[in-house]
Amino acid sequence: MSQKTNNLAADIWTLADLLRGDFRQSQYGRIILPFTLLRRLECVLAASKEAVLKQVPVVEKMKLPEEAQEKLLLRATGGLSFFNTSPMDLGSLGEAGIKANLERYIQCFSRDAREIFDHFKFAEFIGQLNDANLLYKVVQKVRTMDISLKAVSNHDMGLVFEELIRRFAESSNDTAGEHFTPRDIVRLTTSLVFMEDDDALTKPGIIRTIYDPTAGTGGFLSAGMEYVHEINPQAVMRATYPTPG
């Protein structure tokens, strides 16, 4: 992990300072991780937000099933696999009624993204933060994080999440290695996967798809794509992973 990603993870983890006293240490990660993910999704979606919002009334008039509506809205994202149809963002939720506004904002994500927050039981923690009069303070801190694609690559964001998971495991008295695979092992494993295919990967026009059935933070996927691009910068790489469920 570079000093930049380590500093970013440390800065994000300072959210724990707001939680101390009202939440147990073992709960910090269950709040910090989904809020970090929420901000990351928001930053990534910023460029396509306007296009998606313009498409929403058009799609709603069609009275289609949710799955069909999502396919049409995804076209407006410019190639992303998720979207949000709310005109709000973390900076416009306001202080009055912030709990209801945040819950509504999350429900406006596409189904796969919503399922991730459901997995974290995020709604429960939103309620607890609101009861402790901390929700607005946490949102205000999270909204200032610059974790856009321009500032933090997908690879580096994976490293940041791994460091946050390590800190979470440490605060919960768990072993961090139970939650993610160390980066040197990831590199070795991906090298072994592609070792027999090195010659083919150097050819022009090569296309490869990488699938990780237990993607976690996506470390194997990003390492695999990096490995192939080191051999052939023109290679077309696609990463796939199971949807939450």
Among 58-67, 74-83, 159-168, the least confident range: 159-168
| Angle, CA of 73, 78 and 82, to the nearest 5° | 50
As given in the structure block, the two tokens for residue 209 are 């798809």
Average pLDDT over the chain reads 85
Backbone Cα Rg of the chain = 19
Tens digits of per-residue pLDDT, 69-108? 999 999 999 888 899 999 999 999 999 999 999 999 999 9
Higher pLDDT, 209 or 103: 103
Tens digits of per-residue pLDDT, 99-116? 999 999 999 999 989 998
Residue 243 DSSP label: P
Q: Which of 125, 114, 136 is nearest to 37 (CA)?
A: 114
Kindly give the residue spans of alpha helices, DSSP state H, lying in 61-131.
Answer: 66-74, 98-107, 111-119, 122-131
pTM of the model: 0.75
